[in-house]
Amino acid sequence: GDSVTQMEGPVTLSEEAFLTINCTYTATGYPSLFWYVQYPGEGLQLLLKATKADDKGSNKGFEATYRKETTSFHLEKGSVQVSDSAVYFCALTRTRSNFGNEKLTFGTGTRLTIIP
């Protein structure tokens, strides 16, 4: 079945450091890929998405590129801030979906803490 594997956490970085959170997936067909973020005490929020190979999703300084050859969708940010501290989830839908409003398969999440 479909699955998403994320980098084990927690991850602790200093402010302005470079961030990479690894995500790889297993799925048949042409999945769409997503990153969701969960801030403390809040619900999940869509951070960015990509619906086909070589697409790059970006938002709030975060980027991720859909790599079909390596089945990966790694999250990156050039300079993190304390406000980026949250739990990040990689997810996919089996079919091409602009918005993931079908069934989402999530990874286990990566807790990120940024220290000043």
Q: Which residues bind other proteins (CB under 8 A)?
A: 4, 41-46, 49, 89, 91, 98-109
To other proteins, the closest distance from the beta carbon of 88 in angstroms equals: 11
Whichever of 36 and 66 has its CB closer to other proteins, that residue is 36
Residue closer to other proteins (CB basis): 79 or 108: 108
* Residue 21 contacts residue 74 (beta carbons within 8 Å): yes
CB of 44 to other proteins, least distance (A): 4
- Rounded to whole angstroms, the Cα distance separating 70 from 56 reads 15
- Structure tokens of 25? 């997936």
State the greatest distance between any 2 C-alpha atoms of the chain, in Å, as a whole number. 43
Q: Containing H/E element for 38?
A: strand 32-38
C-beta of 49 vs 74, nearer to other proteins: 49
